[in-house]
Structure 1
Amino acid sequence: MIHLILLSGGSGTRLWPLSNETRSKQFLKVLRDENNNHISMVQRVFSQIEKVNADLDITIATAVSQALSIEQQIKGDYSLVLEPERRDTAPAIMLSCAHLLYKQNVCREDTVIVMPIDTFADRTYYNKISTLDSFVQDKTYQLVLLGVKPTYPSAKYGYIVPKDTKEDIYPVSCFVEKPSEEDAQELISKGALWNCGVFAFKLGYITDILSKYIDSKSYEDVYNNYNQLPKISFDYEVVEKAKSVAVIPYKGTWKDLGTWNTLTEEMQESISGRVVIDDKTCTNTHVVNETGMPLVVSGIQDSVVVATHDGILVCSKEQSSNLKDLISKAAETRPMYEKRRWGEYRVIDYSVYLDGRKSLTKELILKPDCQLSYQKHTHRSEVWTIVSGEGLFVLDGKVEKVFPGYVANILQGSLHALKATTELHLIEVQLGDKLEERDIERFGNYWDNNQ
């Protein structure tokens, strides 16, 4: 059996404001399948993996914030490994390998292949899985990589430089990270390949590296000591330190849909949402509007216009890969909309006052029989107003029925939770000097423990 680890990590900041920390790019349903149905990058990858002629076992490594999206979009058999905190790809892969070893009882000699979960490639890319496995089991190399034959000298990708290109597998000479276009052209003339983040190895190879940082006897040992692992990419921590590395070339469709210029190439619709566009003066322009408000676009060429509750972007496609620094300044606040297991919320207002205090107003919708966890906050108080529906509210152990017009004052440090009997709508006003999502200490689900 081949053990496939799919990494679902980044939030796709270059696709802001459509993509953010809680709604990552790989879950956006902007692509189409063979039946013309809307699908996400993740769903497209899984549909291709299902067609691979090999005995595969799949593990997905991701953050807690992405777990619900994965469970909603991906059906079938797979293991889910949730990182206790984000520490880059090396720790994520090590944690997944620990899960394979201790939880799934995988043999140390079995092949493990790591792939990004959001790659846009054709079927032949995934058919390389069996080829990677055969070269790993050949025992000639500690690591076997997959490299994409470049179609142009890109400064956005890392390059794998081979020693020679005479056989089906190339021994690696060195790695070059994001060279200039001029240097990239020189590398390509030497047979260099794009590094697409695909790594193959025997399980024991990585668990031996893991043991240098954590003396583990169980998966829990690794999970509980996760912060002892170096916060570094797998390329730097493992690949570039390996004594014997080889690469298999892949020539076919491969794209990183992480910027608006590459994503729009694969979007069948150029307009989404409430949009009026002047076709006479707009060419090669994509417009996405999620706000529900009317959006008019005129006189813009080769650009993207995106409006969501998190912000508005107007940018030429050519410059869309250079947005990261600008977005980091604009997107300092939390996401304005998020779906959760219990329902959803939308941020209505965020204000800062002269004395430094802040307020955040949210509308929350709880699904019937769902509940917010029993929790408390250190830096903020809250006022909840029930506007629709019925349910139960608990404050420091005292339970009351709630109904439209019910108001709850929740002081800092008070334990509280809410359960919906019917669909429940409430307005939450947070007050304090630090209004952050991580200012929350959870104590499980109150009504699960106090039936």
Structure 2
Amino acid sequence: EPAGKDTGPALAYAASEVRARFGEDAVMLCLPSDHVVGDGFQETAETAVDVAARTDGLVTIGVEPDRPATGYGYIEPGDDHGDHRGVAVFREKPDAETASRLVDRGCLWNAGMFAWTPTAFLDAARSGPLDPLVDALATDADPATAFERVDPVSVDYAVLERAADVRVVPAAFDWDDLGAWNALGRLLDGENAVLGDATTIDATGNVLASDDKHVSVVGVDDLVVAAYDDRVLVVPRADAQRVREVVAALDAPF
């Protein structure tokens, strides 16, 4: 992508490139790079691609929640079509009470994995925040110039939440999102999840990660301690999603 402007512009640019190189009948499978997937992923991905080709709709993969997480968006499934469901409503990242209600109602996590034809996506992207970018790309404008016409925006808000025909394929595989440090605590075995060199004394439930530094914790529980380059982060595991606030504060001008 010519500039980092979140997932909406990036996927519009990708769709334009795929259509130009491979034609309108190609199907894009869009996958984040920071997810962990288990057995059964290939079968689910193939189903999503098949549904996208068969229906010409926008397809997302939905994960069955194992906890009322507040860091993910939710999908409320609609009509049953056998190997997939319609999407009734997308729900933004909820508070804890709302997340519990959504899980009880059978909603799925929006994993951010998608399948669609480039034409179906670009048509759905019109009449929304990405419309100036789609128009520019259609006229063979320089991608960098085209990106200047839009603000950063997620594909969920820019396209999926506005589209008329969105389908969801339930995930038939184990899944986790490594977008926050506390995810390592779910994936690494042991009293404490350790990535790098660390010593723990009278400490449990911690996530410790470092590059070339030794990290020691004594008498503390359920913390994230991450030491990389010249930065050290210490945060309760329950607040690991708040790392975004730290990034924003560090990026803010003094």
Aligned residues: 245
Q: Does 1:306 align with 2:226?
A: yes
Change (3 A) 1:96 1:253: same
Q: Which has the larger radius of gyration?
A: 1
The residue identity in structure 2 corresponding to 1:121 is: V
Q: Does 1:323 align with 2:243?
A: yes
The residue identity in structure 1 corresponding to 2:91 is: V
Change (3 A) 1:297 1:183: closer
Structure 2 match to 1:174:
89
185, 194, 198: which one pairs with 2:109?
194
CA deviation profile, 1:305-354 (whole Å, cap 9, x unmatched) = 3333322223332332333324543x359xxxxxxxxxxxxxxxxxxxxx
Q: Does 1:204 align with 2:119?
A: yes
Q: How does 1:342-361 map to 2 (within 5 A)?
A: none
Structure 2 match to 1:114:
30
Say if 1:142 and 1:201, in contact at 8 Å, map to a contact too. Answer: yes
CA distance in 2, matches of 1:101, 1:305: 44
Say if 1:98 and 1:222, in contact at 8 Å, map to a contact too. Answer: no
The residue identity in structure 2 corresponding to 1:246 is: R
Change (3 A) 1:190 1:220: same
139, 142, 146: which one pairs with 1:225?
146
Q: How does 1:110-189 map to 2 (within 5 A)?
A: 110-139=26-55, 141-165=56-80, 167-189=82-104
Bigger relative contact order (CA 8 A; separation at least 6)? 2
Q: Does 1:96 align with 2:14?
A: yes
Say if 2:137 and 2:146, in contact at 8 Å, map to a contact too. Answer: no
239, 256, 263: which one pairs with 2:177?
256
CA deviation profile, 1:399-429 (whole Å, cap 9, x unmatched) = xxxxxxxxxxxxxxxxxxxxxxxxxxxxxxx
Q: Does 1:272 align with 2:187?
A: no
Tell me by how many angstroms 1:225 deviates. Answer: 1.7
The residue identity in structure 2 corresponding to 1:106 is: F
Give the TM-score normalised by structure 1. Answer: 0.49
CA distance in 2, matches of 1:247, 1:137: 14
* SS of equivalent to 1:136: helix
* SS of equivalent to 1:236: helix
Q: How does 1:263-412 map to 2 (within 5 A)?
A: 263-267=184-188, 270=194, 272-273=196-197, 275=198, 277=199, 279=201, 281-290=202-211, 296-329=216-249, 331-332=250-251
* SS of equivalent to 2:22: coil
Tell me by how many angstroms 1:163 deviates. Answer: 2.1
Structure 2 match to 1:359:
none
Tell me by how many angstroms 1:145 deviates. Answer: 1.4
Change (3 A) 1:285 1:96: same
Structure 1 match to 2:5:
87
Say if 1:142 and 1:242, in contact at 8 Å, map to a contact too. Answer: no
CA distance in 2, matches of 1:187, 1:283: 31
Change (3 A) 1:206 1:318: closer
CA distance in 2, matches of 1:148, 1:230: 29
Say if 1:150 and 1:188, in contact at 8 Å, map to a contact too. Answer: yes
Between Structure 1 and Structure 2, the one with more helix by share is 2
The residue identity in structure 1 corresponding to 2:67 is: Y
Change (3 A) 1:194 1:297: closer
CA distance in 2, matches of 1:305, 1:100: 41
Change (3 A) 1:286 1:144: closer
Say if 2:19 and 2:26, in contact at 8 Å, map to a contact too. Answer: no
* SS of equivalent to 2:90: strand
* SS of equivalent to 1:163: strand
Instruction: List runs of 5+ in structure 2 lacking aligned partners.
Output: none
Change (3 A) 1:174 1:101: same
Structure 1 match to 2:161:
240
CA distance in 2, matches of 1:232, 1:190: 29
Between Structure 1 and Structure 2, the one with more strand by share is 1
Tell me by how many angstroms 1:153 deviates. Answer: 1.6
Tell me by how many angstroms 1:204 deviates. Answer: 1.4
* SS of equivalent to 2:156: helix
CA distance in 2, matches of 1:296, 1:210: 49
